Amino acid sequence: MHFHIMTLFPEMVLEGLRTSIIGRAEEKGCISIDAVNIRDYTLDRHKKVDDYTYGGGAGMLMQAQPVYDCWKALDEKIAARKDMEHDRTRVIYVTPQGKVFNQKMAADLAGEEDLIFLCGHYEGIDERVLEEIVTDYISIGDYVLTGGELPAMVMIDAVSRLVPGVLSNDESAQTESHSNGLLEYPQYSRPEVWHEKKVPDVLLSGHHANIEKWRLEQSLNRTRERRPELYDEYMREHPPQPAKKRKKRHHEPNITSD
C-alpha cells in the first residue's frame, strides 16, 4: 500500500512514521510512505504558499495553485506507476470539519492501493481546490491542531496495521480495541502474581472456550463503563439471544397386558 502526504513539513511526517512497526513495514515493502512538500510547487519566487483571505479575518490561507499542482504531480506519478488508466485516488483532507475517524474507516481505507493525505496549515486551504481534489474530509477529534501532519500520521498508523504483513501476528489486529465495536479486554503477562495481584484463574486454566467467554464479558463490561455510547451501539447490533427452553421429556407409562 502506498501513502502520499502533501505537507509543508515532510521531515516531520517521515521522521515520525519511519520508526517502530510502521518503519519496519516500509523496509519489508508492505507499505511505502512518500511526503511531498507543497512549497516546491508554488509559482511564487519567494516560495510563498499563503495569502490573506478575501472578506477579511485573522490569519493566512493556503493558496489553491501550489496545492493543486502538488496533487496533479502526485496523480500523474501514481498513474505512471500503474502504467494504465486508474480510478481516482482518494484524497483525504485532514480537518476538524470532517467525519471523526474510527476503526471502520481505517478498515475501509486499508482496502485502497494508494491514499493521498492533504495537510493544511494557517487558517486552512482555499475552498476551490478542496472542491477540485478532495474525496474524503476526516477529523481525528473535535479539537483544533496547528496543522494536519499529526492527524495524518495517526490515520496512516491505524490503516497500516490492517495491511497484510505489517503486524507479525495478523490476529492481533483483529482482537484490538474497536475491531469488533468493543474495547479490548484486560491482558496479563508474567509474573503470575505482582503487587499481590494475581492473574485471573481462567487465563491459567487452558480452557479456550472459557477464556474467550471471559474476554468477551470483560470487553462488554469495560465498554459499558468507559464508552457507553459504543456499548449501546454494540448491543443494538448484537441483541441478546433469548435462552433456549429445554424440552421436557415425556415418559410413557409402562403398560403391561394381562
The predicted model scores a pTM of 0.82
pLDDT at residue number 170: 56
Grid coordinates given for 170: 495478523
pLDDT at residue number 83: 73
Domain ranges (residues) in the chain: 2-160, 193-237
Range in 23-27, 79-83, 115-119, 188-192 with the lowest mean pLDDT: 79-83
State the average pLDDT over residues 52-58.
86
Residue % of the chain over a pLDDT of 70: 88
Grid coordinates given for 26: 516500509
Do the Cβ atoms of 33 and 5 come closer than 8 Å? Answer: yes
pLDDT digit string (tens) for 58-78? 789 999 999 999 999 999 999
Counting every residue written for the chain, the total comes to: 258
Q: Which amino acid is at 13?
A: V
Residue 244 has pLDDT above 80, yes or no: no
- Look at 184 and 116; give whichever has higher pLDDT: 116
Residue 257 has pLDDT above 60, yes or no: no
pLDDT at residue number 197: 94
pLDDT digit string (tens) for 164-213? 999 976 545 555 556 688 999 999 999 999 999 999 999 999 999 999 99
Q: Which amino acid is at 91?
A: V
- The domain made up of 2-160 is a member of CATH 3.40.1280.10: yes
